[in-house]
Amino acid sequence: MNNMRKLLIVCGLGVIGIACAILIIKNRPVKHSDGMCEEAGRGIDERLRESKVALDKASAHIQNVFEHVKNRKS
């Protein structure tokens, strides 16, 4: 009976220790998260601008091709 009591105490302390570790890990402050998101946002904005410029160039080129084909048919 004494060994069973020791085993239960050790298991209980293990469960309490794991629960405390999980709480500590989940509640720790996150460092540099705002800066990382801001940098990522800047990169995304720049890529979107570049994509928009490329799309505008492509649409202008396609418009010129359609006009050229239209003029050739006439």
Confidence of residue 37 (pLDDT cuts 50, 70, 90): low
Q: What is the distance between the alpha carbons of residues 19 and 24, in angstroms, rounded to a whole number?
A: 9
The rounded mean pLDDT for the chain is: 81
Mark 33-69 as b/e (b = at least 16 C-beta within 10 Å): eeeeeeeeeeeeeeeeeeeeeeeeeeeeeeeeeeeee
Higher-confidence position of 26 and 29: 26
Domain ranges of the chain: 1-30, 32-74
The pLDDT-based confidence of 67 (bands split at 50, 70, 90) is confident
Instruction: Report CA-CA distances (Å) from 73 to 59, 61, 64, 65, 69.
Output: 21, 19, 14, 12, 6
Mean pLDDT across 21-49: 72
